[in-house]
Amino acid sequence: MGNFKIGELAAAAGVGRDTIRYYERMGLLREPARTAAGYRLYDATDLERVNFIRSAQELGFTLEQARKLLALRASDTAHAQAVLDITLAKIADAEARLERLSDIRDMLRMLADECPGEVPVSDCPILAFLTARRKDQQHNKKLQAAQDERSSLAKGVLS
Amino acid sequence: MGNFKIGELAAAAGVGRDTIRYYERMGLLREPARTAAGYRLYDATDLERVNFIRSAQELGFTLEQARKLLALRASDTAHAQAVLDITLAKIADAEARLERLSDIRDMLRMLADECPGEVPVSDCPILAFLTARRKDQQHNKKLQAAQDERSSLAKGVLS
DNA sequence: ATGCCGGTTGGACCATGGTCCAGGGTCAAG
DNA sequence: CTTGACCCTGGACCATGGTCCAACCGGCAT
């Protein structure tokens, strides 16, 4: 039957060999059967699992979450609610990121719009904005609102 | 005059001591003067630099970009255009991330909306979606458009 | 039998932005 | 003089998702 070796599985799934072994170490793939020579032997269900994992990744799930989703899928007592919970958490996470990231974009856009380009750096409003911080910021009306905003921009937004 | 030791600088800037030393290693801060005992000695301009770096980070700049911005600021020949270029690239980057991330959110929301919760995992449309992949996907009309969409969702969206 | 491709292992390494630790030295107060 | 708070260095370690490496073994063609 359709048994394949690691390179074949990797090629079929569109990943590297090392990625397959990595998934195995991470508990995402079962320990496969082996040939007498120690070669890993996979079948169609393994390929399907790798494809599942890649799909989950494309939707923004981490490998750890993919592992949980696979476990839920394999359970015959679990309810879809558990999957939904993970998904809803992911949505909330995405929305939080979206909000912070769009705040940043707005801020950058505003600064970019004010920057004439053809001036010496000493007149660059972007550098001025980065320089004026936590003190002496009672002048510059245009950026004041933005500065209030900025305080709410936490770390890790593009992480 | 206002010379401070590393702990004082760190406290004033709201970062850890190790972060200051890290910035120094990364070339973000100059090598400071030292006391006879080898203690680093900082002044107000160092604090201002750290504050600048933190501000840049809050706007989504990496430390490497912050380093470049600092170099531009210190230059007396550079033009604001260079800063603007970095900023525009950052905006473009933010917009690309926003788009991919909002695609993902939409996709997840669609799947979540279809999941009734109170069914066994075998009937979970989210798992079904992750399972049906790259083959046998000519059925299921509701998700078809979404699947087309999905193909364009590259990696690293929430990274 | 020789070459070559592909498999095996364990471990190092990448980026990012730090954090923490051991094993010292310094400095001011009590 | 001792205690405690601070400082020094170099290096290990964290998460994330892999990638690459050396050094070795298996299997097939020529």
Instruction: Determine the structural domain holding residue B110 and report its residue range.
Output: 95-151
Residue B10 shares a structural domain with residue B70: yes
pLDDT digit string (tens) for B37-61? 999 999 999 999 999 999 999 999 9
Is residue B1 included in any domain, yes or no?
no
Distance A56 CA to D22 C1' (A): 34
In a domain, A39, yes or no: yes
Same domain, B63 and B112: no
| Residue of A51, A95, A150 lying closest to B133 (CB–CB) | A51
* Residue B64 contacts strand C, CB under 7 A: yes
| Residue B84 resides in a domain | no
- Which CATH number belongs to the domain containing residue A12 in this structure? 1.10.1660.10
In chain B, how many domains are there? 2
Residue B49 approaches strand D within 7 Å at CB? no
What is the rounded average pLDDT of the residues B23-45? 96
Query: Is the C-alpha dihedral spanning B79, B84, B86, B87 positive or negative?
Result: positive
ipTM value, please give it: 0.83
Q: How many Å does it take to go from CA A18 to C1' D21?
A: 12
Indicate the burial class of B72 (C-beta count within 10 angstroms; 0-12, 13-18, 19 or more): buried
Which distant-in-sequence residues (6+ apart) come within 8 Å of B30 by Cβ?
A: B24, B46
A35 beta carbon < 7 A from strand D?
yes
Sorting pLDDT into bands at 50, 70 and 90, what band is A158?
A: very low
B102-139 confidence digits (pLDDT tens): 999 999 999 999 999 889 999 999 999 999 876 433 33
Whether B103 and B69 map to the same domain: the answer is: no
Kindly state whether residue A1 falls inside one of the protein's structural domains: no
Q: Is residue B82 part of a domain?
A: no
pLDDT at A153 over 90: no
Q: Please identify, among B27, B44, B74, the residue that sits at the C-terminal boundary of a domain.
A: B74
